[in-house]
Amino acid sequence: MVSQSVAVWILIALAVAAANLPFVSERVLALMPIKAWVKKPAWALITELLGLFVVIGLVGYAFETALVNPFPRGWEFYVTALCIFLVLAFPGFVYRYLLKK
């Protein structure tokens, strides 16, 4: 059983990695190459980013239920969490669209 602070740091590290994953790889989830795409389209990036947001949310919920009683959440929590996830994705966006030639 991990402590609460270790679980938080693991979740932050996973969130940073997951938020930047769609931008650093042309493969879907960094696993499956799509030969029809020369460059991953924007809709695929957004879909992948939202899917990884849900996965990270489920991991966070699993940590929470294992360590403490889960708290009820409203829509405000999910909107704020999505905004934070998008901020974590900023380095990958900069690498893909502003630095990579």
pLDDT of 30: 66
d(CA 79, CA 13): 20
Which positions of the chain have pLDDT values less than 50? none
Task: Give yes or no for a contact between 91 and 58, defined as CB atoms under 8 angstroms apart.
Answer: no
C-beta of residue 85 within 8 angstroms of C-beta of residue 15: yes
